Each structure stands twice: as structure tokens, then as C-alpha cells.
A and B are shown apart, each in its own frame.
Chain A
Amino acid sequence: MSWLHIFILFPLLAAVIIPILFKKIPRVHTGWFVLVVPLAVFIYLLTFLPMVAGGETAMYSLPWIPRFDIHYSLYVDGLGLVFGLIISGIGALVVLYSIYYLSKHREALHNFYVYLMMFLTAMLGVVFSDNMIVLYLFWELTSISSFLLIAYWYARRQSRYGAQKAMLITIFGGFAMLAAIIMLSIMGETFSLQALMAQSDQLVQHELFLPAMILILIGAFTKSVQFPFHIWLPDAMEAPTPISAYLHSATMVKAGIYLVARFTPFFGGAMEWFWIVTGVGLLTLLWGSLLAVKQRDLKALLAFSTISQLGFIMSLLGMGSAALYYGGGDEAHLHSMAILAAVFHLVNHATFKGSLFMVVGIVDHETGTRDLRKLGGLMSIMPISFTLALIGSLSMAGLPPFNGFLSKELFFTGALNAAELDIFRMETYGALIPIVAWTASIFTFVYSIVLVFKTFFGKYQPERLEKEAHEAPWGMLISPLILTVLVVVIFFVPNVLAHYVLEPMMASILPPLAGEFDIHIEAWHGFEPELFMTIGVVVLGAILYATLRKWIVLYNNMPRALSITNAYNSGLKGMESISRKVTDWHMTGFSRDYLRYILVIFVVITGASLFLLDGFSIDTANAANINGFEIILSLVLVGSTAMVVITRSRLTAVIGVGVLGYIVALFFVVLRAPDLALTQLAIETVTVALFLVCFYHLPRLREKEEGDGINVFNLIIAGAVGLLVTLISLSANGHRLFPAISDFYEDAYELAGAGNMVNAILADFRAIDTLLEIFVLCIAGLAAYALIKLRLARREQDENQ
């Protein structure tokens, strides 16, 4: 067990102590104790940076279920480490922020921090796991802890709705991923990711390659809110703001990005991978940016912007996967720029989006509302928040001098490069990529401006706010301040990141090119097309913002029925109502219907197998002869049976059953079974007597059986059952595969000292049957006695009166 194993489980262990601290030390906000945990993890992970920057990786393994090749094995490379640093670093900032955001008197802090620590462990586990089953385990743990956190204020209906929606969608994706993992383990005969990657060349031709790819992508897309699975994120905004900032912008929603990046060395280079990842990413980018503009709620706006930015990163990962097609050389280096843009923007997005969420939380906390229509004019009241929001938004919009500008330029470079690809049938559609990317950037610019201007500019409306607005306490501002400083610092010295963060990440995603990257990010690179595209974005975006009032009405004309959330809701309702209808249709509550199902299924399955397997045959070679007496007995048997069925009189029916029983006894005589005949006679007598004892109390047989006489449907079923029994009996007679074992019982006298073989079997050879049969009779007797004697319901009624 290495230190890394311990540090990943550390938050989970801390979660055990948190409720105790919350109860025992109520004076101190529990968050202060929790803060130590992500900070410790962050500092510990920093120690790996020099190793990873040197191009090395590390593997730590601990057996868990070795028989099934399941190990708690951890793999440290650039990709996992940077994700781990983002998770623990922003985790620490979020805990600090939440100390000031959540009141220690009113909130159930122990729940909050326990869920948060569960999430921290889960997320670290996802990014460091090498064993795919363990990866899946942590993956589902992120879904569960996210579910708990979204429904943190569980008394609200919207919170519960959002949590359920997020749960259903992400668990659906999780199952798809599990299926993919199983497929991959069948393909590579290992659960280890690294061992699998090593075989990627041989497995491209495998028939499970494509299904596994699609299922992995479903898992990644549901988690990373890609179109059309993005609908859970806006509803997850019911969570407390620190959670939205942490889970739903910086970490959990990037788990899918991580997964795609992790599997790029395996699937990348395939046409399907390129098209699905790029296409879905671009669609999400465009759709998210279009919808973000119309939002009235600040957090909903940020949710759609997150969706859009994740689509941005996803599409870049798709475009960059073309580099693996070439494997090396200039072409590969050209397309690896897209991967650079993806990992760079991943880091940038975590910084500015985290800070924006925190600022929105501050606005909400200090004014009591997040509604854009009520907000305005806060610039002079909350100058620090305003500055932070402005920097975050401009970075999001992709303007200098902030880090978003650099990654956006790289994005345009990647898109333009991808457009010039001549593989994967890109000649036809390639030109669409930069156009879509550019359009989406314009809308990104518009909603970023909306976010700042509608909140901080315009007229201050104190009468519409729930509280009197004022600047937030410093404690709350520290975290967004740190993130914002990073936003600016990264712009001015991006190349410091390059060696320690971006190169190791790219080496993980594009292993063939490892060690050959020459990253040099520049803010100014001459009058290139990218620059003109950015200028176009700013100009058009400014025009669109100025005329916002005129075209925002277009959104209102968009039919609500066509939205995906609507499809989700009605799909859920439809599934419920269909299953209810199906259940109501066949579960009628009438035992007769159920008997019909049972009998029809019996007839169909047995009959079909009898004929399809050609099982029917008649073999009369061993058949015994028939004499006249037996024919008479048979006729009486049939006659009495018919009498029982046809009669309307109770007495006749009882007598008919009695006759039937005695005829069976006579058959036993004819067929040389004296003990049976004896028993049958006695039992039949008792049965008839029992019927006669109940005679006066039994209901009269119905005059009309089923409305009008014979029920044809029942008759057909009954006829089929009878026919089938006869056919099976005849076929079985014809197929005696081996002789009976009964010769053994002919030695009954020597073995058991009994002359009567049947009795010897009952009491000696197979006496346990007899013992249990006695039990049956005892239980039946006791039950009949209890039924008649115990009148619980009536006694209760009597007591109540």
C-alpha cells in the first residue's frame, strides 16, 4: 500500500469523523476541519509534478479481488495528475468558500461535508484508477455523491426533481460504460487500462471495437453533459452554489472529458471516434451557447455555458485524435495542436468557471436573488465581485488579456487544421467545423457580456431585492480571487504551465508523440486567420448584444414541446403510463384469468416442443391387452366425469366425484395394486363424506355457468390440455430408455423383512416420503381446525364494539 492509496481514501476516512466534529465542536464551523483534507491531498499530489514533467509515470498496485483480476491499482501520469490537482485544489477553495457561504447554525453541515468528501475520494479514484472495474466503482460513487449533494435541500421539490434526473441520466451512462468495460476486458483479456492500451494496435479489427467505443462514449457524454444528455445539468443547479461551482463546473462534469482523453490512445485514429466526438462536441458547443443567451437565472446561464464549454473541449479532443491516424510526422504535430487546446482550455475553464460560480453565489447570497431581471447596478456596491465577474466573463468570452483568449485562439487553429483534413471523408464536411465553432464563439461572447452587464450595470433596483445589497465578506472572496489571479497569470506566462502541466497531459493522450512536443503559446502571433476570427467574434457579438431586445423574442417562438427536457419528462411519464396500462391489462385480479395464462403457456410451450422436436410417437409393442370389464369401467369413468361437469345439482356433482373415485379404485384392482385400491376406497369415502358434511352449507351450483351456458374459450383450453396430456403420455410410453429399477425391490424380504413390496418401499426404502406425507396430513388437519375455530376478524370487531 503506497501513500497514494491512502491519500485517495483519506477524504472518505475523514468523512467518518466529520459528523462527530460537527456534534462535539459546534462553536467552530466544521468546514475549517474539512479544509485540511483537500489541502493535504493537493500538496501531496504536487510532489508528483517533477516526476511527471520528466516524462515518467508510476503504477501502484494493491490486490483487491485477485482471482478476477481486480486490483486497487493506481496509475500516475500527466492526465491523471493534472485532473487530481484540479480536483483537490478547487476542492480546497470550494471548502473555504462554503465556510462563509453556509451558515453553521441553519445548515446540516455534517451531511454536506460527508457527501463532499465522498465525492472527493470518488473523483480522485476515477482519475487515478488503472483497473477499469475500480474506475467504474469510483465513477458510480461520483454519481451517488452528486445525487446526494444536488438534493442537499431535500425539502424542496425542485431539488429532488433535479437530483432524480441527474441520477437517472448519469447512472444510465454508467451502465453503458460498464458494458463497454466488460467488452474491453473480453477483447484485451485484462481490466488494466495500461495493459489494454498496449494492445490497441491488434484490437482495432476486433468485432467488439465499435460497440465498446459507442458505449464508452455514451458513458462519457452523459457525465460530461453532451448533447442530448445535457438536460440534467441546468436542473442540478438546485444544489448549493459551492457544489455547483465544484461538481458541476470544475470536476464531475469533466469526468467524461477525462474518460474520452483516457481512451483516445485506444480508440483515436478511428474514423467513428473522430466523427462522434467532434460532431457531438460541436453540437453541444453550439446548442449550449445558443440556449445560454436566453436564460434569466444566473446559475442556469452558467450551466448552459458549462455545457457549451465542455462541448468545446470535447470537440477539440475529437479533432486532435486525427493526430493518432498519422502516428507521427508533421501532420500529426499539426493536429496535436487541437489536443493542446483541449487540455489548455480544460485548465482555463476550471479556473474562470469556478470563480464565476462563486461570484454568482456571492450575488445570490448578498441580494437574495439570481434573477437577471431583478438585478442591476451592483457595480458600485460590490466592486470586488464586479471585477472578478468581469475578468471571468471576458476570459470565458475569449478576450485578451485573459487565459480564455489563448485557448480560444488555439481552438480556432485546431478547427482550421481539422477543416483541411483529407482523411475520414473530411473533404466534404470539414469546412463546417470552423463555421460552427465561430458561430458558437459569437454567442459565447454575447452571454458572457449579458452575465456582467445585466448584473452589474444598469439601474439598481433595491425594492425588488430581498436584501439590501452589500459587498461580501473577505472570506467568501478569497477563493474566487485566487482563481481570478490564476486567470490573469496564465495569460501572461502560459509557457510555465506548458512544461509541467500541458506536455505531460498531451503525452498521456497522444503517447506516440510523447517527448516531441514543442509547445509555445503566444498571445500575439501575427495577422493570422485566428486573429480575424476573434475580431469578428467581438464585433458581431457587440452588435448582437446591442440589439438583444429585438431578437431575444425569437427564443419565445421556439416551441416548448420540442425541447429535450420536455421529451425526457414525457418519456418518463409515458413509460410509467405504458407500464401501468400493460399491468392493468393483464393483471386483472381474477384468478381465472391467471389460470388461463398458465394453462395456455403450458399448452403452447409443451405442445410446440413436442412437435418441433418431433417427440410424438406411439409404440404399442409392450402394451397390455384390454378386456371387456375394463372397457365398461372406462365408460363409467367417462360418464361420471361428464356428469360432474354437466350437472347443475350439487348433490349429483358430489355423487359423480364419488363414483369417479370408486372407479379409479376398481382400476387399481384390475391393474394389480391392492394397497392403492384399499386406500383409494377409504379416502374416497371420507372425501364424499366431507362433501356431504358441508352439504347444507355449500353454495348451490350456479344455474347458468358463464352467462350463457358453455364457455367456448375455457372448453378449448381444457380440450387442449387434455389432448396434450394424452399425447405426452403416449409418447412417453413409446420411449422407455432404460429398464426400471424395481428389480431391486423384489428382494424386499431379504432387505427389509417385508413381503409386501409397496409397504416396504413406503416404510423402509423411502420412509422419508412417508414421514413428510404424515406432516402434510397433520398440517392440513390443523389448518382446517384453525380455519373453523379461529375467528380473529370477528373477535376484533366485537372488541371494538
Chain B
Amino acid sequence: MEILMSVLAGVLFMAGTYLVLAKSLIRIVLGTAVLGHGALLLLLTMGGLKTGAPPILGIESTAYTDPLPQALILTAIVINFGVLGFFLVLAYRSYQELGTDDMEQLRGTEDE
């Protein structure tokens, strides 16, 4: 299972990286979302998989799944969402103001 999850994270990272390197701003936004998912899966895998019951004390079990990575991931999901939302609004506004989403055109002046 760890091997499968590692490969999946790798696939997500690859797709996210490819999208981030694209010309179109909207693709970059999508790419960051994909990269975020890859990171979540990676975090979860690193904590060890299926080592016991869900980390809720009411459940009768000898072992529980590691709760710490889950807490970290929960924080990460929320932050990811905040940043992604902001990024999306930024992309929307820049398209509205500048009339382009092409990263080749979105660049500074020659002598900055």
C-alpha cells in the first residue's frame, strides 16, 4: 500500500509540476491544487498506513492509526484552501484587468 501511495503522490506531483510550468494562468492555478493533493497523500503515507483503528478512543481496538499526521494534514488542507481561493481570485482579477492569462505576456519591463 505504501508503494502504491508513493507512486500516486509521484503522479500527482508530476501532473502538478507540468501544469505549473504551463503558459496559461488558469492551468497554473489548477496545477497548485493538484500539487496540494499530492502533498496531502505524501504526508499521510509517511505516517504509516492502516496500523490500527481510526484515532477515536470510543472504538475498541488495541492500536490506532497515528493521529499526528492527520492533524497536520487537516491544518494543511485549510491553509491550502485559503491560498488556492486567494490565488483563484487573483487570477480572475488579473485576467479582468490585464485582459490576458498568458504568462509570456505577464512579465515586467526590460530594465527592472
User: A residues near B, CB below 8 A?
Assistant: 588-592, 595-596, 599, 618, 620, 622-626, 630-631, 634, 637-638, 641-642, 644-645, 650, 653-654, 657, 660-661, 664, 667-668, 671-676, 679-680, 683, 686-687, 690-691, 694, 697-699, 701-702, 705-706, 711, 714-715, 717-719, 721-723, 725-726, 729-730, 732-733, 740-742, 745-746, 748-749, 755-758, 761-762, 766, 769-770, 773, 776-777, 779-781, 783-784, 787-788
Contact = CB atoms under 8 A, between A and B. Distances in A.
Interface string B35-53: 0011011101111111111
9 closest Cβ pairs, A-B complex: A722-B14, A726-B10, A780-B82, A718-B18, A757-B67, A729-B6, A757-B55, A761-B71, A624-B1
B18 A701 contact: no
A697 B89 CA distance: 11
Given A705-B22, A722-B11, A733-B2, A641 B44 contact: no
User: Which of B46, B77, B90 gathers most chain A CB within 10 Å?
Assistant: B77
Given A634-B4, A644-B19, A742-B66, A718 B14 contact: yes
Interface in B87-104: 88-93, 95-96, 100-104
A762 B91 CA distance: 32
A784 B14 contact: no
Contacts of B67: 742, 745, 757-758, 761
Contact of A623 (B1, B70, B77): B1
Contacts of B84: 687
B31 to A, nearest CB: 9
Nearest to A637: B8
Contact of A699 (B45, B53, B101): B101
A680 B26 contact: no
A730 B101 contact: no
Nearest to B58: A755
Contact of B24 (A634, A702, A770, A787): A702
Contact of B89 (A622, A630, A717, A788): A788
A768 B91 CA distance: 31
Contacts of B74: 675-676, 679, 758, 762
A653 B28 CA distance: 12
22 contacts: A599-B17, A620-B2, A622-B48, A624-B2, A641-B15, A645-B15, A661-B33, A667-B41, A673-B70, A676-B44, A699-B95, A701-B24, A702-B24, A722-B13, A723-B14, A740-B48, A745-B55, A756-B56, A757-B57, A761-B71, A777-B82, A787-B89
Q: Is the interface of B mostly helix, strand, loop or mixed?
A: helix
A661 B77 CA distance: 11
Given A657-B33, A664-B40, A761-B68, A714 B18 contact: yes
Contact of A758 (B5, B24, B34, B71): B71
Contact of B20 (A595, A654, A683): A595
Given A590-B104, A711-B21, A787-B86, 4 more contacts: A623-B1, A630-B1, A634-B4, A755-B57
Contacts of B54: 672-674
B46 A673 contact: no
A24 B52 CA distance: 89
B44 A642 contact: no
B8 A634 contact: yes
A691 B91 CA distance: 11
Interface of B: 1-15, 17-27, 30, 33-34, 37-38, 40-42, 44-58, 64-68, 70-71, 73-75, 77-79, 81-86, 88-93, 95-96, 100-104, 106-108, 110, 112
B83 to A, nearest CB: 7
A701 B27 contact: yes
Contacts of A788: 89, 93
A588 B46 CA distance: 38
Contact of A757 (B27, B47, B56): B56
Contacts of B34: 641, 644, 657, 660
Contacts of B48: 622, 740
A694 B81 contact: no
A676 B73 contact: yes
B27 A719 contact: no
Nearest to A756: B56
Given A638-B11, A718-B17, A780-B86, A589 B26 contact: no
B101 to A, nearest CB: 4
B68 A741 contact: yes
A758 B5 CA distance: 22
B84 to A, nearest CB: 6
Nearest to B52: A672
A596 to B, nearest CB: 7
A557 to B, nearest CB: 43
A443 to B, nearest CB: 50
A638 B33 CA distance: 15
Contact of B75 (A644, A705, A711, A769): A769
B83 A623 contact: no
Given A657-B33, A683-B77, A780-B86, A726 B9 contact: yes
A741 B89 CA distance: 40
A374 B88 CA distance: 76
A367 to B, nearest CB: 48
A261 to B, nearest CB: 50
Contacts of B24: 699, 701-702, 705
A776 B37 contact: no
A626 B13 contact: no
Contacts of B1: 623-626, 630
Contact of A723 (B10, B21, B88, B110): B10
Contacts of B3: 618, 620, 623, 730
User: Which of B12, B57, B65, B93 gathers most chain A CB within 10 Å?
Assistant: B57
Contact of B44 (A595, A673, A715, A719): A673
A596 B23 CA distance: 13
Contacts of B55: 672, 745, 756-758
A630 B4 contact: yes
